[in-house]
Copies of this chain bind each other. A is one copy, B any other.
């Protein structure tokens, strides 16, 4: 029972720090999304396509969360935008205090859009507010239609869900109608996007939503 209490304290402390991050971002008119998915759903690829589309009109910065390695920050840095890697060394989710440290390394005065790529995990990132304006969940068509029912919390807390890897649909046993229905059954108010980073399909619509929600346009 002690553990439950302690977990609650940890979450309360996290929420407090997240609120500080949120205020700092709002003060600087930075729109922030927290990208969450299973490992391998294509978060980094979506980030790359998003940067390609929006780089000319938005000043973007990225915070990468990984258990080990800075592979993702290296991929992002190639686009010539600020990228900070948080290595959690075993931690299965980002926390607000880690993001606060990352924010110190970014010049927020010259940033419009901050994208945080969380650790690949559909469970714990749901509980940890980072100070973002919106949580966005990425699910790939290869993962099966039942995932929104099996990991409802993260879908419930998301403002948008991107169904990625739609180019693989002809080769999969994935019923898109059922997948969409399952997502909407746990969160009827969520915005749904369908993308393929291979063909580029759907990226424009997603980027339009993202850009239109920023604070400084």
Q: Which residues of A contact B (CB under 8 A)?
A: 2-3, 6, 10, 38-40, 66-69, 71, 90-92, 119-124, 127, 140, 142-144, 146-147, 149-153, 165, 167-168, 171-173, 198
CA–CA, A206 and B98, complex, Å: 41
Query: Residues of B contacting A71 with CB < 8 Å?
Result: 146, 149-150
CB of A69, distance to nearest CB on chain B (Å): 5
CB of A195, distance to nearest CB on chain B (Å): 15
Query: Residues of B contacting A143 with CB < 8 Å?
Result: 39-40
- Contacts known (A90-B123, A123-B90, A140-B40); A68 close to B168, Cβ less than 8 A: no
Query: Residues of B contacting A120 with CB < 8 Å?
Result: 38, 122, 150-151
CB of A93, distance to nearest CB on chain B (Å): 8
Query: Residues of B contacting A147 with CB < 8 Å?
Result: 39-40
Number of copies: 2
CA–CA, A69 and B185, complex, Å: 14
CA–CA, A121 and B66, complex, Å: 14
Query: Residues of B contacting A68 with CB < 8 Å?
Result: 149-152
Q: Are B39 and A151 in contact (CB under 8 A)?
A: yes
Q: Are A165 and B150 in contact (CB under 8 A)?
A: no
Query: Residues of B contacting A3 with CB < 8 Å?
Result: 6, 10
Query: Residues of B contacting A144 with CB < 8 Å?
Result: 40
Query: Residues of B contacting A151 with CB < 8 Å?
Result: 39, 67-68, 120
